[in-house]
Amino acid sequence: MSRVFNDFLEMFGKLRPTIVVSDSYPRRLQPTITRLDGATFLRLRDLKKLSEGRRNNGVRETDENDAKALREMFYKAPDLFQPLYASPVELEVRVLTELWVELAGIKRAAKYARTTTDDPLAVETHRTLQRYTERLATRIHERAMELPLYRMVVERLGLKGPSLAYIVSHDSVVFKTLSRTGLETRYELFRRPWKGRGLWSQLLILLANKMVLNKHHRYLSVYESYLRRGKKHWQSILRVAERILRDVRRLAMEAQGAGQAPA
| Residue of 217, 196, 219, 200 lying closest to 208 (CA atoms) | 219
Q: What is the pLDDT of residues 46-69, one digit of tens each?
A: 778 888 888 888 888 888 888 888
Average pLDDT, the chain: 85
The verdict on 22 and 92 lying in the same domain is no
Q: What is the pLDDT of residues 199-209, one digit of tens each?
A: 889 999 999 99
The verdict on 218 and 105 lying in the same domain is yes
In a domain, 134, yes or no: yes
Regarding pTM above 0.75, the answer is no
Return the pLDDT at 233. Answer: 93
The verdict on 128 and 232 lying in the same domain is yes
Residue range(s) defining the domain that contains residue 186:
88-257
Return the pLDDT at 6. Answer: 66
The verdict on 37 and 63 lying in the same domain is yes
Residue ending a domain, choose from 54, 83, 112:
83
Say whether pLDDT at 246 is over 60: yes
In a domain, 2, yes or no: no
The verdict on 183 and 170 lying in the same domain is yes
Return the pLDDT at 1. Answer: 44
Residue ending a domain, choose from 83, 113, 146:
83
Q: Taking residues 192-199, what's their average pLDDT?
A: 74
Residue 86 burial (CB count, 10 A): 18
Residue ending a domain, choose from 83, 114, 133:
83
The verdict on 152 and 30 lying in the same domain is no
The verdict on 142 and 66 lying in the same domain is no
Distances (CA, A) of 165 to 32, 39, 87, 154, 255: 22, 26, 14, 10, 17
Say whether pLDDT at 167 is over 70: yes
